[in-house]
């Protein structure tokens, strides 16, 4: 019982577990599973300015999103502080690809050569963490959804906009993985 | 829906603006579901930068298996709920209105911009938050950047094609 709860979950357990959040949120309050709208709600709460997009009742529209997001923070904490410590078991092919770029430390969930405070102000850190984060926020707002809202609940609801968005996700992701990352990590 | 209404149906808040306010009694439910999501993101390693690179290089079935089985599970259970015409616990008929298509350009362009950020940070918004909880504290900077990105979108929105 505890062994499967503590180690790395197989895909056929993790996928359905994530998928079940869609009906769970629908049953709880007719809510659509989606994370990125929380970013808009936070902007509306913190700094709406004179921007029409942020001038709405964020408490009414999205307080539940923010409560959910607080849970995500807690869930990450809980998972990291229980269970066994192990490296992410990526394939040898991926290790070779990343080693070619210049990543050699495969411990932890993100490469410690980049995703640390120490590396934040290097060219790699600025591009991957600061600029990457900006693109995540801008892109999800423009596309009106992220992986959870489009790729999971949108596709499950058979929405054409979500299929278009997912095609966009992969176009951008492939471009970054094949062209931008090898340059940024390898050359900068 | 009139054209006027579909034109207004654009903003993140706009969609849910007529949603009923969630009663505080339901907060623990959403909190708990959020904890489950964060926990699964970590245990499944979906939040790992390494796994995202592996996915975009097509070097493992794992991420596709996770996303694919999540979609199938959600689609089957959602269509069952709709067929049964069930009401949610809070009293509304389960409906989940679709997003307006418009020209579709926002989904393709916005999606591609997000995709770039997804591969660079190795995290979409949920994993970004779960990583902070999980101890990769520098991701708080990425989250602040993401908030700034969303804010800049709101600012530029009147000038962007949708």
Q: Which of B30, B38, B96 sits opposite A73 (nearest CB)?
A: B38
Residue B26 pLDDT exceeds 50:
yes
- The verdict on a CB contact (< 8 Å) between B109 and A72 is no
ipTM over 0.90: yes
pLDDT band at B17 (very low <50, low <70, confident <90, very high): low
The pTM score is: 0.93
Alpha-carbon distance of B37 to B26, in angstroms, equals 17
Alpha-carbon distance of B135 to B155, in angstroms, equals 32
Kindly give the confidence (pLDDT) of every residue in chain A, 188 residues in length, as a single tens digit, with 9 standing for 90 and above.
Answer: 456 677 889 999 999 999 999 999 999 999 999 999 999 999 999 999 999 999 999 998 899 999 999 999 999 999 999 987 778 999 999 999 999 999 999 999 999 999 999 999 999 999 999 999 999 999 999 999 999 999 999 999 999 999 999 999 999 999 999 999 999 998 88
Residue B8 pLDDT exceeds 80:
no
Phi, psi at A145, each rounded to 5°: 160, 165
- Chain A, residues 76-95, CB within 8 A of chain B, namely 76-80, 83, 88, 90-91, 93-94
Q: Which chain B residues contact residue A152 at CB under 8 A?
A: 67, 70-71, 74
Alpha-carbon distance of A61 to A42, in angstroms, equals 11
Phi, psi at A102, each rounded to 5°: 120, 15
Q: Which two tokens stand for residue B19?
A: 């949603």
Alpha-carbon distance of B14 to A91, in angstroms, equals 43
Note the pLDDT tens digit of each residue in B63-72. 999 999 999 9
Note the pLDDT tens digit of each residue in B86-96. 888 888 888 88
Q: Which chain A residues contact residue B55 at CB under 8 A?
A: 173
Q: Which of B111, B25, B31 is nearest to A78 (CA)?
A: B31
Please state the three-class secondary structure of B50-98 as a single string: HHHHHHHCCCCCHHHHHHHHHHHHHHHHHHHHHHCCCECCCCCECCCCC
pLDDT of residue B19: 66
pLDDT of residue B9: 37
């Amino acid at each position: 019982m505890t062994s499967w709860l503590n180690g790395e979950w197989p895909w056929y357990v993790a996928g359905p577990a994530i998928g079940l959040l869609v009906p769970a949120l629908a049953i709880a309050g007719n809510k659509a599973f989606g994370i990125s709208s929380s970013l808009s709600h936070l902007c509306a709460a913190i700094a709406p300015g004179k921007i029409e997009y942020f001038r709405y009742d964020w408490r009414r529209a999205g307080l539940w999103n923010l409560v959910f997001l607080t849970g995500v923070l807690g869930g990450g904490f809980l998972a990291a502080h229980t269970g066994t410590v192990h490296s992410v078991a990526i394939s040898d092919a991926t290790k070779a690809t990343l080693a070619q770029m210049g990543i050699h430390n495969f411990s932890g969930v993100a490469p410690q050569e980049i995703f640390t405070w120490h590396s934040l102000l290097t060219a790699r850190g600025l591009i991957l963490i600061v600029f990457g984060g900006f693109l995540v926020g801008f892109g999800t707002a423009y596309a009106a959804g992220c992986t959870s809202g489009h790729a999971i609940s949108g596709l499950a609801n058979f929405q054409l906009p979500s299929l278009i968005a997912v095609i966009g996700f992969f176009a951008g992701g492939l471009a970054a993985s094949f062209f931008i990352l090898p340059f940024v990590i390898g050359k900068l | 829906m009139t054209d006027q209404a579909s034109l207004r149906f654009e903003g993140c808040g706009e969609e849910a603006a007529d949603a009923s306010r969630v009663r505080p009694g339901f907060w623990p439910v959403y909190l708990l579901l959020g904890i489950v999501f964060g926990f699964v993101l970590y245990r499944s390693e979906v939040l790992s930068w390494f796994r995202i690179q592996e996915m975009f290089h097509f070097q493992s079935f794992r991420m596709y298996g996770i996303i694919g089985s999540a979609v199938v599970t959600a689609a089957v259970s959602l269509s069952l709920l709709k067929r049964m015409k069930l009401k949610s616990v809070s009293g509304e008929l389960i409906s989940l209105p679709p997003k307006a298509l418009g020209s579709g350009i926002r989904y393709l362009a916005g999606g591609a911009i997000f995709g770039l950020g997804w591969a660079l940070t190795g995290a979409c918004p949920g994993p970004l938050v779960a990583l902070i909880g999980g101890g990769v504290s520098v991701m708080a900077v990425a989250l602040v950047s993401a908030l700034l990105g969303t804010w800049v979108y709101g600012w530029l929105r009147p000038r962007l094609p949708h």
